[in-house]
Amino acid sequence: MFRGVGVKGAGQPPESIVRTAIEWQMRLRADPASAELQQRLQAWLEQDERHDLAWQRLQQMAGLFRVTPITDAAQTIPLLQRAEADLSRRRMLKLLGLTAGSATLLAAASAPVWRADFATATGETRRLELAGDVEVLLNTGSAIDVRGQELLLRSGEALVEGERWQLRCNFAECLGRHARMSVREYDDRSEIRVEQGEVRVRAAAGQHRLQAGEGLAVSASRMTTLERGALDPFAWARGLLVVSDIRLADFLAEAGRYRHGWLGCDPAVADLRLSGVFRLAEPELMLRNITHLLPVTLVERTRWWVRVVPIA
């Protein structure tokens, strides 16, 4: 059984334990469905109350920092050395019990995200009204720069609407005219979907014109047409997660974007399918609801660690 956050007399966890906790979080992000990893993590947490303390404090920071999908904590050191220190960063270091010199241990945001004009935390959305009647809505964990009607999406997801605008994302440049478009960034691609109007997409792989109802995945070397999937790509702008015949594992991966901590499932239930409409503002209720839709139950070691398992 995992212990709670308030461990009396535990003090500040040593730097070596904090580093190990960070490495565990990276492993879980790389392979969230691994039951073996989850069992090994639980065994490590039970070894020493300081292990659990470091893990709990690290989970409290989720969403305030972007954790990069890497497997070696040392890779994050150059990123944080270039990051700008600010008040919220110092507060979070204090929460974790680290000195300023230990900041390089954190798997946190790269310098470009820290310096973005506008950003959102986990579970937050933000609406921007720009010059020329252009409107931008940022989804959870996103960052964008604004230069008049020219936009640069640094990370996450954004919906752009207006008479005339230009947006650059990781793998493409989008030119919209009387258009409403959503862009979502992944590690290896940018996914672009048009709800209204026409958007011209330019990338290293070529050019394409998207009409309402069309979508395109753009990587460094190719463009691929996106078919209608199990997830409504525009529902988040209405505060909803709308899914149709989606795998439970994929649903949890999507729901996890809007809550703090780790969320996963047992491989035995990963391929169960569900459909429904869920409110993003109530992530805990969202999880409770799936127990009424599927033969599953929740294992909650802490408020930051939830696993969906079969009903015994």
State the Rg of the chain over Cα.
20
Check residue 211 and give its pLDDT: 96
Average confidence score pLDDT of the chain: 79
| Residues paired with 118 in a beta bridge | 144
Q: And the tokens for 90?
A: 């110092």
- The helix-helix angle for 87-96 and 49-60 (nearest 10°) equals 160
Whole-number Å distance between alpha carbons of 116 and 142: 10
Q: Is the pLDDT of residue 87 over 60?
A: no
Q: Is the pLDDT of residue 65 over 80?
A: no
Q: Is the pLDDT of residue 133 over 90?
A: no
Q: And the tokens for 106?
A: 């954190």
Question: Per DSSP, which regions of 120-172 are E strands?
Answer: 126-130, 134-138, 143-147, 150-155, 157-168
Contact 119, 143 (CB under 8 A): yes
CB within 8 Å of 292: residues ≥ 6 apart = none
Phi and psi at 229, nearest 5°, equal: -110, -170
pLDDT in tens, 42-56: 888 888 888 887 777
pLDDT in tens, 156-205: 999 999 999 999 999 999 999 999 999 999 989 999 999 999 999 999 98
pTM, whole model, 2 decimals? 0.68
Instruction: Of 31-40, 148-157, 183-192, 269-278, give the lowest mean pLDDT range.
Output: 31-40
Instruction: Of 100-114, 129-143, 231-245, give the lowest mean pLDDT range.
Output: 100-114
List % helix, strand, coil for the chain (3-state, nearest 5). Answer: 30, 35, 35
pLDDT in tens, 237-254: 999 999 999 999 999 999
Query: Which long-range contacts (C-beta less than 8 Å, at least 24 apart) are formed by 249-252?
Result: 249/33, 251/290, 252/308
What distance lies between CA 301 and its chain's CA centroid? 21
Please state the rounded mean pLDDT for residues 92-102: 47
Q: Which DSSP letter does residue 290 get?
A: H
Helices and strands counted in the chain (H then E): 8, 16
Check residue 147 and give its pLDDT: 84
Closest C-alpha among 123, 21, 33, 31 to residue 308 = 33
What domains does the chain contain, in order, with CATH numbers? 15-114 (no CATH), 118-225 (2.60.120.1440), 235-310 (3.55.50.30)
Q: Where are the alpha helices (DSSP H) in 87-225?
A: 87-96, 111-114
Which residue would you say has higher pLDDT here, 210 or 15? 210
- Residue 132's pLDDT band, with cuts at 50, 70 and 90, is confident
